[in-house]
Amino acid sequence: MPVRTEAKHVLGALALITAAAGLAWHGQPSALEKWQFLAAELEPRLVQREVQIHPAEMLELMHDDYIDLRVIDVRDERDWNMFHLWGSQRIKLDALEQHRKSFLKLPANGVIVFVSNDESRATEAWKRVMAIASKPNAYILAGGINRWLGEYAGHAATDQESGHVPPDDTLRYPLQWAMGSRHPAALPDLHAIQQQMVSRQPTAVPDTQHVEQQHVDQLREPHPHDAMRGPGHNRGPGFRKRVKLQKKVIKRGGCG
């Protein structure tokens, strides 16, 4: 082999080794750094509240057999024990990265919803998972558990969006016992709620009598579930559905 060619090979090898050593020293971006890269693309979706889903839509998702729903609760253990949504899974914020592979394996009909007491922790979880798991089909429960309980356990609504409640992500609903997912509001009966909307009659809500009466009172007011009744039946502001199943285009390649 000519000397000049050999020198070129040595130089090429040195360049490759230097680039690889630099890469090993630099490392790959952390979840936070990756979010910085993605922020320009994803932050507007957060700001325009395209990924915050209304509790009524969440309830529909929980009853939709077609959807492979993963509800990820990022609250602390105490709040989780007090109340959590039926079928939800508690994962600490710092432990989300350990579940990266399961987020990556989300099927085409898979939807992830992050839940916290208000929205701040769930938003943080959403950012991290969008960064580490290839932007899965993930959403945030609008208003969090506080608003959910406001909607389905008869408590006065604590809507973060209204600005009445500071978003400190604490559980404000006055629960007396740690009921976990045994609380009736953990999985409200969608059919019963829809029927109530149609008939406007106070039918049984699976809760204590006190809560039931509060819920019925609430249902007499304009309610987001009015939107479920179809066109021509809206009597309240309703809600706009956010969840869309994203069909990712997969380009498979290979070399024979």
Partner 1 sequence: MAPFDLNTQLGDIGAWIIYAMIGFGFGFILESAGFGDSRRLAAQFYWRNLAVLKVMFSAILVAAVLIFWASALGWLDYDEVWVNPTYLWPGIVGGLIMGVGFIFGGFCPGTSLVGMATLKLDALWFVIGVAVGIILFGESVHLYNDFWHSSHLGRFTLQEWTGLPAGLVILCLVGIGVSVFWLGDIVRKRMWGDAGED
Site string for partner 1, 28-67 (x = CB under 8 A): xx---xx-xxx--x--------------------------
Q: Which of 132, 140, 171, 227 binds partner 1 (CB under 8 A)?
A: 132
CA angle (197 as vertex; 196, 200 as ends), nearest 5: 65
Nearer to partner 1, 96 or 193 (CB): 96
Rounded to a whole number of angstroms, the minimum distance from the CB of residue 21 to partner 1 is: 6
**In the set 3, 25, 201, 230, which binds partner 1 (CB under 8 A)?**
25
Read out DSSP for 164-204?
SS-------S--SS--GGGSGGGS--HHHHHHHHHH---PP
Closest separation in Å from C-beta 29 to partner 1: 6
Q: Where does residue 224 rank: exposed (0-12), middle (13-18), buried (19+ CB within 10 A)?
A: middle
- Alpha carbon distance 188, 190 (integer Å): 6
The one among 7, 8, 11, 21 contacting partner 1 by CB under 8 A: 21
Q: Which of 11, 32, 95, 104 binds partner 1 (CB under 8 A)?
A: 104
For partner 1, what does the binding mask look like between residues 136 and 175, x meaning CB under 8 A?
----------------------------------------
Q: Which residue in the set 4, 27, 107, 191 belongs to the binding site for partner 1 (CB under 8 A)?
A: 27
Closer Cβ to partner 1, 5 or 199, answer by number: 5
Interface residues toward partner 1, by CB under 8 A: 1, 9, 12-13, 16-17, 19-29, 33-34, 36-38, 41, 101, 104-105, 132-135, 249-256
